[in-house]
Amino acid sequence: MSPPIRSSSNNNSIPNKPHHHHRPALLPDLFLTALSLLFIFSSTSPKLHHLILKIPPFSLPPVPRRLFLKSPITIMSQTKPKDPNLNHFSTPQSLSDWLKPRLPSDSFSSWGVKPGTKNVHNLWLELSQGETSLLDSTPPLRTVHVATVRILDSHGRVLLESHQELSDGTVRERCRPLSEKMKPGESIEDAVARAVSEELGSIIRASYGNVDVSGLVRIVPGSYQTKVEERVSASYPGLPARYVLHSVDAWVEGLPKGDFCTEEEEEYGDSCDTKIAEKAVFVKRHFWKWIGPDSSVC
pLDDT tens digit string along 243-289?
Answer: 999 999 999 999 999 999 999 876 665 656 788 999 999 999 999 99
175, containing H or E segment: strand 171-176
Q: What single DSSP character describes residue 45?
A: -
Q: How far apart are CA 43 and CA 50, in angstroms?
A: 11
Over residues 30-47, the pLDDT tens digits come to: 556 655 655 555 554 444
Q: State the amino acid at position 36 in one-letter form.
A: S
- Which of 12-21, 133-142, 157-166, 226-235 is least confident? 12-21
Q: Average pLDDT in the 163-192 region? A: 96
Burial environment of residue 29 by CB neighbours within 10 A (0 to 12, 13 to 18, 19 or more): exposed
Q: What single DSSP character describes residue 84?
A: -
Q: Which residue has the higher pLDDT, 20 or 289?
A: 289
Is 118 within 8 Å of 280 (Cβ atoms)?
Answer: yes
Q: How far apart are CA 147 and CA 200, in angstroms?
A: 15
86-290: CATH topology = Nucleoside Triphosphate Pyrophosphohydrolase (3.90.79)
Kindly state the percentage of the chain with pLDDT values over 70: 68
State the chain's mean pLDDT as an integer.
Answer: 80
Over residues 196-240, the pLDDT tens digits come to: 999 999 999 998 888 999 999 999 999 999 999 999 999 999 999
Is 170 within 8 Å of 116 (Cβ atoms)?
Answer: yes
Over residues 181-196, the pLDDT tens digits come to: 999 999 999 999 999 9
List, as own/partner pairs, every contact residues 223-229 make where C-beta atoms lie below 8 angstroms and the sequence separation is at least 24, other chains included.
223/150, 223/247, 223/248, 223/249, 223/250, 224/188, 224/248
